[in-house]
């Protein structure tokens, strides 16, 4: 019986057809002897033919590939079909009888060809499914690193220019003060000399009058003028005593180029060893895996995704690390970050909230907002614009009078500068560690209310309001405006009164809006992710913060509770209730040790809780 030509599918979506006679059923088997595709019924019929009873029929995936027809150069009428393992060359059957191949070991060339064919397919699969995509991923990472390097370099250049400009301003200020001091000294000396000049004017006039008097005596013919009018003991007034001016001295500064470089900072090449890029391991599916049914594969994928989701918060993979130029005093050392990373892997919500301690803050009447300064210091504000810095026992370190009210209007930057808004002047002020207050950013027609300094990149996020409209503006560390977030993708306004603002660990910007009674969350690109409107009919959000696990914590002053949300806005629980004796909570802050600070709007009491374990 003549063998029909195997039907090769023209597209990837076409199934393999049986090649036995005119059968068009799905191919499941393969005859290695006659290289024919067979369905199950045709396989049985094929093996019933007497001359086919010794044919090797296997599953299609286990087939041997048919040898391409190739004639022997020595015996042109013969086809090459065997392989000499000793000589490592393919031969025809007649060649194997030749003298030079006597007692050599021969194998079926089709077996060798099939193995090599499958090896090539396997290597091609590796190239297409792993090496090429992975190389593209790494190439993309290289390009991202190049973009990041450029951004870091631009940031360093901006910081250097800002430092130089700051130094220039300080030089101008000192020069102006010195000039003013010199002018005052000069004015004082000139006034004193002018007074001395008048003294001599008066004395010279006195002498002139005296000269005239004596001359009158000398010219008189009356002797009685000498005897009666001219006193015998006449004394001329002595010349007035005056002092020479003492001029100021100028002590020139002693400095050199290195001294100036220390003031401006210095760029240096890091001696840190470059890390190898992380290459994901190769996973090549087996034949058994590749022929799984679609439903089984989909089911398995769902289980894998579910397992990943369950363990995602408990694992942390270090991708890369880099030095941040221009930051001499970072909030946390590498060791602190490693400890935090370890803590994060095992951190979870406690079964209950535990009160750790509470203390009163002198200098304020309420606790409307709390900013973390460092591990042992806080900035706290009340409704009357009083802003105080305290330690963890409530001892006041310093106090500032501001125009702030019941908003999150102050924050602390990565380099520990205090930032606070001035609603009256429509500016954002900065106080450096040497207590130098400057108008950092002018917001024009917009009134700034809330502000937050990003712990990811140091940017400032500012909530503003104008004519019953609100927006969030992003500035970089030098005060340059980078981004304005005002509407969603439908052109609808997102904010009306963004009076508290914070940032989550994934870069989301979380804002509580007093007028709209909603928490609005957008991603770092400004695209609206979700809005949270509470669990009851009335929801009035105030203070808001996030924690190391990406939870969002927001105060609801209408019910005296703190709502706990996950990173995607799903409600998890109420941390406090009135039944637990917690009232008037309006501000929240989580420190580096995962302590939760809750402030009250009716007293100056600050309470510390533990809610993570």
The domain limits of the chain are: 1-63, 113-254, 338-344+370-612
Level-2 CATH architecture, domain 338-344+370-612: 7 Propeller (2.130)
Mean pLDDT over 559-586 rounds to 87
Mean pLDDT over 142-149 rounds to 88
For residue range 537-547, list pLDDT tens digits in order: 788 999 999 99
439 vs 235, which has greater pLDDT? 439
- Which ranges constitute the DSSP H helices of 312-416? 334-346
- The alpha carbon of 427 is separated from its chain's Cα centroid by a whole number of angstroms, namely 25
pTM recorded for the entire structure: 0.48
| Residue 484 and residue 456 in contact, taking contact as beta carbons nearer than 8 Å | no
Q: What is the CATH number of domain 1-63?
A: 3.30.160
Q: Regarding beta strands 469-475 and 481-485, do their DSSP bridges make them parallel or antiparallel, or are they unpaired?
A: antiparallel
Highest mean pLDDT, choosing among 305-309, 502-506, 581-585: 502-506
Give, in degrees to the nearest 5, the angle at Cα 339 between 333 and 344. Answer: 125
Report the chain's mean pLDDT, rounded to a whole number: 82
The pLDDT assigned to 226 comes to 63
Confidence category of residue 250, pLDDT binned at 50, 70, 90: confident
The pLDDT assigned to 16 comes to 78
For residue range 305-342, list pLDDT tens digits in order: 344 333 333 233 333 333 333 333 333 434 444 445 55
- Of 320, 301, 370, 340, whose CA–CA distance to 555 is shortest? 370
Residues 6+ apart with CB under 8 A from 480: 158
Q: Do domains 1-63 and 338-344+370-612 have the same CATH topology?
A: no
Residue with tokens 């927006």: 471
Give the whole-angstrom CA distance, residue 75 versus residue 218: 165
For 417-487, strand residue ranges (E) read 418-422, 427-431, 437-442, 447-453, 460-466, 469-475, 481-485
């Amino acid at each position: 019986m003549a063998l029909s030509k195997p039907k090769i599918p023209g597209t990837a979506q076409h199934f393999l057809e049986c090649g036995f006679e005119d059968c068009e059923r799905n191919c499941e088997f393969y005859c290695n002897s006659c290289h024919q595709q067979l369905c199950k019924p045709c396989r049985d019929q094929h093996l019933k033919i007497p001359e086919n009873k010794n044919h090797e029929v296997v599953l299609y995936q286990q087939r041997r590939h048919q040898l391409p027809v190739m004639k022997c150069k020595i015996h042109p009428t013969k086809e090459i079909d065997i392989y000499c393992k000793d000589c490592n060359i393919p031969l025809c059957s007649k060649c194997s009888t030749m003298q030079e191949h006597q007692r050599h070991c021969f194998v079926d060339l089709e077996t060798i060809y099939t193995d090599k064919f499958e090896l090539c397919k396997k290597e091609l699969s590796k190239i297409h499914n792993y090496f090429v995509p992975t190389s593209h991923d790494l190439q993309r990472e290289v390009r991202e690193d190049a973009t990041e390097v450029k951004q870091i370099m631009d940031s360093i250049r901006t910081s250097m220019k800002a430092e130089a400009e700051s130094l220039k301003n300080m030089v101008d200020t000192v020069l102006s003060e010195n000039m003013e001091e010199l002018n005052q000294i000069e004015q004082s000396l000139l006034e004193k000399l002018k007074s001395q000049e008048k003294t001599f004017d008066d004395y010279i006039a006195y002498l002139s009058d005296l000269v005239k008097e004596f001359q009158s005596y000398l010219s008189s013919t009356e002797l009685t003028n000498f005897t009666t009018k001219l006193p015998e003991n006449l004394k001329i007034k002595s010349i007035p005593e005056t002092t020479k001016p003492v001029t100021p001295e100028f002590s020139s500064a002693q400095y050199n180029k290195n001294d100036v470089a220390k003031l401006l900072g210095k760029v240096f090449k890091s001696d840190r060893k470059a890390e190898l890029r992380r290459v994901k391991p190769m996973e090549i599916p087996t034949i058994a895996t590749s022929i799984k049914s679609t439903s089984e594969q989909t089911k398995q994928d769902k289980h894998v995704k579910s397992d990943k989701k369950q363990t995602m918060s408990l694992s942390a993979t270090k991708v890369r690390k880099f030095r941040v130029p221009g930051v001499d005093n970072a909030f946390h050392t590498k060791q602190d970050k490693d400890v935090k990373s370890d803590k994060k892997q095992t951190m979870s919500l406690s079964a209950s909230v535990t009160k750790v301690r509470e203390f009163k803050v002198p200098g304020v009447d309420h606790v409307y907002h709390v900013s973390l300064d460092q591990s042992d210091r806080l900035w706290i504000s009340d409704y009357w614009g009083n802003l105080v810095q305290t330690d963890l026992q409530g001892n006041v370190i310093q106090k500032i009078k501001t125009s702030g009210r019941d908003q999150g209007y102050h924050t602390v930057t990565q380099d520990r500068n205090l930032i606070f808004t001035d609603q009256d002047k429509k500016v954002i002020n900065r106080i450096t560690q040497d207590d130098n207050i400057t108008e950092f950013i002018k917001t024009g027609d917009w009134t700034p209310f809330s502000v937050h300094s990003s712990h990811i990149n140091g940017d400032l996020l500012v909530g503003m309001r104008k004519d019953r409209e609100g927006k969030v503006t992003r500035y970089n560390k030098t005060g340059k405006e980078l981004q304005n977030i005002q509407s969603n993708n439908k052109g609808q306004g997102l904010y009306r009164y963004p009076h508290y603002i914070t940032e989550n660990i994934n870069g989301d910007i979380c804002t509580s809006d007093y007028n709209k009674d909603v928490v609005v969350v957008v991603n770092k690109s400004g695209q609206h992710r979700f809005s949270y409107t509470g669990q009851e009919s009335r929801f009035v959000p105030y203070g808001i913060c996030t924690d190391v696990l990406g939870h969002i914590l927001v105060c609801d002053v209408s019910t005296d509770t703190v709502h706990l949300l996950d990173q995607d806005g799903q409600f998890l629980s109420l941390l406090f209730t009135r039944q637990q004796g917690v009232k008037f909570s309006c501000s929240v802050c989580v420190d580096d040790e995962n302590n939760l600070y809750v402030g009250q709007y009716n007293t100056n009491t600050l309470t510390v809780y533990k809610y993570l374990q």
